[in-house]
Amino acid sequence: MRTYIDSAFVDEVREADELGLVDGVTTNPSLVSSTDREYRDIIDELDEFVEGPISVEVIATDYEDMLEEAREYDTWGDNIAVKLPMTRDGMRALRTLYDEGIQTNITLVFSVNQALIAAKNGATMVSPFIGRLDDNGHDGVGLIEDIRTVYDNYGFETDILAASIRNPRHVQEVAKAGSDIATLPPEVADSMFDHPRTDGGLEAFLDDWGDRESPALK
């Protein structure tokens, strides 16, 4: 499973990249507004070292303005994926952008039917928000499993991108459910490294070795 970082802070993405966790990046207006920086400047910096898709989200809600934004975003780099909302106008825009060869990421997906519509219209990626479903008493990981089944049944090439990840357990669950991608908040990505047994084992090894010098440094 590929891992993206869900952040508009370049330093956070760079740190995750140094740990081998950046196959792509997702951004949204909320993340960008928290940086007090221009959207284009952030994307330009990310583009210097991120090799995979960088998702940039439209603000518009109507078809014509979505297209105008999407076409501008597409000029920002070769690996831009335009995020469109799962709405009727969003699907109209998706069909046009698919014909133009522009990568897309359909966001705010909460049902199998929505994921099916997005795939039928040529979405590059579809983003089910599993954490928000769990927050409201629904089964977010179960949605990933159901979408995986439908996509495999009919040979859809749209990637499933698990979004709204809340914790490390979500990561392992969506990986087991067959998600192609998980986009991770930096703090969740960092916490994937941690386990008390690892820390305890390392401490025990060092205690047993004591103050002796490493044989590699003699």
Q: What rounded mean pLDDT belongs to the chain?
A: 95
Tell me the CATH number at 150: 3.20.20.70
Question: In angstroms, rounded to a whole number, what is the distance separating the alpha carbons of residues 3 and 90?
Answer: 25
Q: Write the DSSP string, 137-204.
A: TS-HHHHHHHHHHHHHHHT--PEEEEBS--SHHHHHHHHHHT-SEEEE-HHHHHHTT--HHHHHHHHH
Q: How far is CA 1 from CA 98, 104, 157, in A?
A: 24, 19, 15
- Amino acid 196: pLDDT: 79
* Angstrom distance (rounded) from CA 203 to CA 99: 57
Question: What is the dihedral angle through the alpha carbons of 213, 215, 217, 218, rounded to the nearest 10 degrees?
Answer: 90
The whole domain housing 159 covers 2-217
Q: What is the mean pLDDT of each run of 10 residues along the chain (218 residues)?
A: 98 97 96 95 98 97 98 97 98 98 98 98 98 91 98 98 97 98 97 85 75 77
Residue 201's pLDDT is 80
> Quick one: pLDDT at residue 154?
98
pLDDT at position 121 is 98
Told to judge if 83 belongs to the known catalytic residues of this protein, a careful annotator would answer yes
**What total number of domains does the chain contain?**
1
**Partners of 183 in the β-ladder:** 4
User: Among 161, 166, 185, which residue's Cα sits nearest to residue 52?
Assistant: 161
Residue holding tokens 């004591």? Answer: 210
Q: Which of 83, 120, 176, 218 is catalytic?
A: 83
